[in-house]
Structure 1
Amino acid sequence: MPHRLLLIRDLAHPDQFRAAMRFHRMSGTLGGAVRCGITVTVSFLVVALAGHADLAGFAALGALASLYGRDEEPAWRWRLMTLAGASLVATIALGTVLTGWDAPTVVLLLAVAVIAALATAACAALRSGPPGGTIIVFAAGAGLAPGGEGALVERTVTTLVGAVIALLVCNADGVLRLVRRQPLGSAPRLRDLLPDSAALSSGLLVFCASVAAGAIAEVAGWGHPAWAAMGATAVLHGRDVHHMGQRAIQRGLGTLGGAAIAVPLLAAPLPFWAVAALVVVLQVVTELIVGRHYGLAMLTITPMALLMTSIGGATDPVTLAVDRGLDTLVGAVIGVAVAVIAARPGAPATESGDPVAETPAVTVPGPPASR
C-alpha cells in the first residue's frame, strides 16, 4: 500500500486520538512561567500608565519574546530574545504598513505566508525550540488589524517596549554581569546557524499551507486568515506526520474549548485592569501546562489571545470566538494535508505510541515542536 494511504489510515485510527490525549511529564517550568508573567504584567503597567491602554495588547505581544531561549545560557538567551523581539516589532510594523496602504487581500495573504515560512526556517536553524514561529504569525495577524493615523509609530513603539521589558526581566543575571563588566559567556555565531535544507524545506511547507489555509479562511469570510496560517504553522512544527496529526487534534479541540471559555469573558463588561490580570494569569498557566499537554494548554491560550485582541477595540464575542475556532480548524486540516502530500518514507520503525506499529515511519522536514 502506498505510504500516503498508510498515513491516512494511521491518522484516522483511534490510537491517534488516544496518543493526542496522552500527558507528558515535565519539570522546571515554574521559573519560566513566573518570568513570563512578570514581563507581561510590567508591559501592561508601563503602557497603560502612559495613557495608551488601547495599545497594551501590542506591548504584551512584544513581551512574548520572553518565551524564547528561556533555558539557554545567558549569552545565547540574550541573543535569541533580542532576535525574537526584533522579529515581533518588524512583523507588526510590516502588517500595519500594508494595512495602511490598503494592500490587496492577496498581498496580505502572501505576506503572512512569507512571514510564517521565514519564522519557521529561522527558528529551525537557530534551534530556538518552542514556541517556534507561531508567535510571529500571531503578531502578523495583529499588525493587519485596522489602525488609525499614527498606528505605525504607536504599535511599533509599544511592541518594542514589551520586547525590551522581556529582555531585561528575563536576562536580569546578564544585565548584572554587564553592569559589573563581566562577560556573558560564549554563544554560537549566527553566521554558523544559517538554515540548512531541512529548515528551508519546512519553511516551504509552511508557506504552502499558510497560503492555502489563509485563502480558504478569507473566501469563507471568517475575518482573521492569519489565524488559519498560524494553525497550519503550529501543526507543521510536529516531529513527523503522526505527531503533526496529534497536534492537529489537540489544537483543534483545544481551540474550540478555549473559544467557548472566551465568549463569556469577552461579553462581560470587564475593566481594562481585569482583562490585563486575566491575560497574565492565563499566560502563566499556559507556560505551566503547555509542555505537559498541548491541547489542554489551548484552553488557556485561546481566551488569552482573544482577550489580547479585544483590548484594542470593541468586538462581537461570538463572532471573534467562532472565527478563531473555524480558522484554527482549517489551518490544522490544511497543515496535516500538506504534511501527508509532502511525506516521504523513512526508517522502518515508528515512535512509541504512534498508531499501527507496522507502518513505516514517514517524515517531513520539520523544526522542533512549538506551540
Structure 2
Amino acid sequence: MPDHKPAASTSPAPARGGRRVRARVKNSRRRSARHLLSLAQLQESMKVAAPPSLQNAMIAGLQAALAVLLALGSMHVSPWPELVGFPALGALAALFGRYASFERRRRIVFICGILLTLGVLLPSLISYAGATPAMMVLVLALCAGASTIAVSHWSLGGPGAVIIVFAVGAVLGPVDSLHTVAARTLATIWGAALAWLVCMLTDRWRSQDVSVPGAPSGRKPPFRHQLIAACRITVGAALAALVTHAAGWQYPAWAAIGATAVMQGGHLHITMNRSLQRMAGTVVGACIVWAILAQNPSFWTMVTAIVLFQFITELIIGFNYALGQITVTPMALLMTHLVAPAANSNLPVERVIDTIVGAALGIVLALIFSSADDRAYFLRRQKKLRARR
C-alpha cells in the first residue's frame, strides 16, 4: 500500500516553528521583566531574614576586622607607610569560608589570599607595561570573569568574585616602576598571611554544625557552565566600566564591581534583589562616608571606622544584603582612599552613580543572557508566590 503519511519536513514548517520559538522566547523575557519590575519583587528585596548562624557571622566579622586592623596598623608603622592599603586588600581573604570546616576554611582562605595577590600583581604589571586606561578597564572585566571561574572551580563561596574585582579595581592607576609592582605585591601577601593566621588561631570559636541553603556542595559544576557564567560577568563588567569610563568618571571599577556583584546571583530573582538592595544600600552608605571624609579624618580615625564597618557588615549582611551595603560602602571607600587618596570630594557621589549604572546593567544583561530554563524557573517561582498570597 502506498504511504499516505505527510512528508517528514517541508521548507515552510521550520520557518513557522522558528517564529513560534522566537515569539515564546520574547514573550518569556517580557513576562520575566514585568515580574522583575513589579511591586512584589521590590517587597521581596526588602525582606529581613536571620542568617544561618549569628555566631559564625559574628566570628567572621571579628576575624575580618582583626585581620584588616593588623594589616593597616603594621604597614603604617613600617618603613613603607605609603603601601598601607595593600595589606588590607590581602586581609579580605578572611571574608571567605565562614561556614566551612576548619580544614577546608584554611584552604579557602589560602586560595583567596593567592587570588587577591594576583589581583594586585597582574594589573600592576600590565599597567607598568604601558596599558591605557581603556585597556585597564578591559583587564578589570577579564579579571572579573577569571575570578568567577576560580570561585566556582574551588567552591570558595561568598562573598564571591566581587572581592577579587574590588582588589583589582583598587590598583588600576599608573605604575611607574617594577619596584612599585613588587612592593604592592609583597604588601598584599603580608595582609593575606595575616588573614590566614587570624583565621587559623580563632576558627575554633566558629560552629561547624550549620546548615546553609545554597552553600557550595563541593561538587564542581560542568566547566561549560562555569565558562558561560564567567563570560556573562565579563561582558557585564566590561560594559558597565566602559560606560562610566567614556562618561569621564574617575572610578569605572565601581560600576564593574556593581555589575559583578549583581550578576553572580544564581537566579533572576536573586539578581534583581541584589540590584535593588545594592543601589539602596550604596546611597545610604555614600552619605555616611561623605560625612566622615568631610571631617578630614586622621589615619587612625579612618582605620577605626574601616574596622568597625567591616565587623558590622559581616554581622548584618546575612539579614539583608542592603543592610550590608550601608556599612560596606563606607568601608570600601575609606579603604580605596587609603590605597589611592582621592583628588576631589566627589568620591561618594561617583560611588553612587557608578553602582547604579553597574547594578542596572547587571540586571538587564542577566535577563538578556538568561536561558529558557532560568526564565521558566523564575516564572514558576513567581506563580507559587502569588498562589500563597
Please state which band the TM-score falls in when normalised by the shorter chain.
0.7 to 0.9
SS in 2 for 1:318: coil
One-letter identity of the residue aligned with 1:42: L
Q: Compared with structure 1, are the counterparts of its residues 41 and 195 closer, same or farther at alpha carbon in structure 2 (3 Å cutoff)? A: farther
- The gaps in structure 1 that reach 5 residues or longer are 176-187, 360-371
**Per-residue deviation, 1:313:** 4.9
The 1-side partners of 2:232 and 2:349 are apart by 27
Which string of whole-angstrom CA distances, capped at 9 and with x for unpartnered residues, describes residues 171-208 of structure 1?
12789xxxxxxxxxxxx9x9x85862222211111011
Which residue of 1 is the match for residue 307 of structure 2?
280
Do the aligned residues in 2 keep the contact of 1:250 with 1:294 (CA within 8 Å)?
A: yes
RMSD: 2.5
The 2-side partners of 1:74 and 1:263 are apart by 39
Do the aligned residues in 1 keep the contact of 2:96 with 2:112 (CA within 8 Å)?
A: yes
Which residue of 2 is the match for residue 134 of structure 1?
162
One-letter identity of the residue aligned with 2:28: H
Which string of whole-angstrom CA distances, capped at 9 and with x for unpartnered residues, describes residues 295-322 of structure 1?
1111111111111111145425632112
Q: Compared with structure 1, are the counterparts of its residues 8 and 350 closer, same or farther at alpha carbon in structure 2 (3 Å cutoff)? A: closer
The 1-side partners of 2:299 and 2:183 are apart by 19
**Per-residue deviation, 1:106:** 3.5
Matched, 1:85 2:113: yes
Q: Compared with structure 1, are the counterparts of its residues 3 and 172 closer, same or farther at alpha carbon in structure 2 (3 Å cutoff)? A: same
Do the aligned residues in 2 keep the contact of 1:66 with 1:170 (CA within 8 Å)?
A: yes
Match of 1:302 among 321, 329, 332: 329
Matched, 1:52 2:80: yes
Q: Compared with structure 1, are the counterparts of its residues 205 and 102 closer, same or farther at alpha carbon in structure 2 (3 Å cutoff)? A: same
Matched, 1:267 2:305: no
**Per-residue deviation, 1:216:** 0.2
**Per-residue deviation, 1:352:** 9.7
**Per-residue deviation, 1:232:** 0.6
Q: Compared with structure 1, are the counterparts of its residues 75 and 136 closer, same or farther at alpha carbon in structure 2 (3 Å cutoff)? A: same
Which string of whole-angstrom CA distances, capped at 9 and with x for unpartnered residues, describes residues 311-367 of structure 1?
1454256321122111111111111111111122338665998588579xxxxxxxx
Q: Compared with structure 1, are the counterparts of its residues 349 and 113 closer, same or farther at alpha carbon in structure 2 (3 Å cutoff)? A: closer
**Per-residue deviation, 1:8:** 1.2
Which residue of 1 is the match for residue 60 of structure 2?
32
Q: How many residues align?
A: 345
**Per-residue deviation, 1:223:** 1.3
Q: Please give the residue correspondences for 1:111-126 in structure 2 after superposition, counting only pairs within 5 Å.
A: 111-126=139-154
TM-score (norm. length: structure 2): 0.82
- Higher relative CO (Cα under 8 Å, sequence separation at least 6) belongs to 1
TM-score (norm. length: structure 1): 0.86
The 2-side partners of 1:92 and 1:48 are apart by 19
- The gaps in structure 2 that reach 5 residues or longer are 1-23, 205-215
Q: Compared with structure 1, are the counterparts of its residues 273 and 147 closer, same or farther at alpha carbon in structure 2 (3 Å cutoff)? A: farther
Match of 1:42 among 70, 90, 95: 70
Do the aligned residues in 1 keep the contact of 2:170 with 2:340 (CA within 8 Å)?
A: no
Task: Tell me which moved more, 135-144 or 124-133.
Answer: 124-133
Which residue of 1 is the match for residue 101 of structure 2?
73
Structure with higher Rg: it is 2
Do the aligned residues in 1 keep the contact of 2:268 with 2:378 (CA within 8 Å)?
A: no
SS in 1 for 2:50: coil
Which residue of 2 is the match for residue 179 of structure 1?
none
Q: Compared with structure 1, are the counterparts of its residues 313 and 244 closer, same or farther at alpha carbon in structure 2 (3 Å cutoff)? A: closer
Do the aligned residues in 1 keep the contact of 2:90 with 2:189 (CA within 8 Å)?
A: yes
Q: Percent identity over the alignment?
A: 32
Matched, 1:342 2:369: yes
Do the aligned residues in 2 keep the contact of 1:286 with 1:297 (CA within 8 Å)?
A: yes
The 2-side partners of 1:157 and 1:355 are apart by 53
